[in-house]
Amino acid sequence: MTSDKAQDYWKANLRLVMGCLAVWFVVSFLFGVFLVDVLNTISIGGYKLGFWFAQQGSIYTFVVLVFFYASQMNKLDRKFDVHED
């Protein structure tokens, strides 16, 4: 692989990671900790929303994020022809 192509692959990878980590930060630290009091004024079912993010919602989002990342990386690997086999 040429070094230009390798750099493009790496940059695309970093962009994807940054995007995923932004979501990761928002659902846990922002919604679950920093904005918890504001969100707690909203209720879904018997849950206060901030409390729900801290104890339920952030975890569900993490699961989706990791699978999203894995599938996007697999596509990226094929696009740049660096996949295994």
What does the binding site for other proteins look like in residue numbers (CB under 8 A)? 1, 6, 9-10, 13, 17, 20-21, 24, 28-29, 32-34, 36-37, 40, 44-48, 51-52, 54-56, 58-60, 62-63, 65-67, 69-70, 73-74, 77, 81-84
Q: What's the closest the beta carbon of residue 37 comes to other proteins, in angstroms?
A: 7
Given a contact cutoff of 8 angstroms between Cβ atoms, the answer to whether 26 and 35 are in contact is no
Q: Cα 24 to chain center, whole Å?
A: 5
Nearest approach, Cβ of residue 35 and other proteins (Å):
10
d(CA 78, CA 32): 36
For 1, 30, 47, 75, the CA distances from 71, given in Å and listed in that order, are 22, 26, 32, 6
Q: Shortest approach of other proteins to residue 43 CB, angstroms?
A: 8
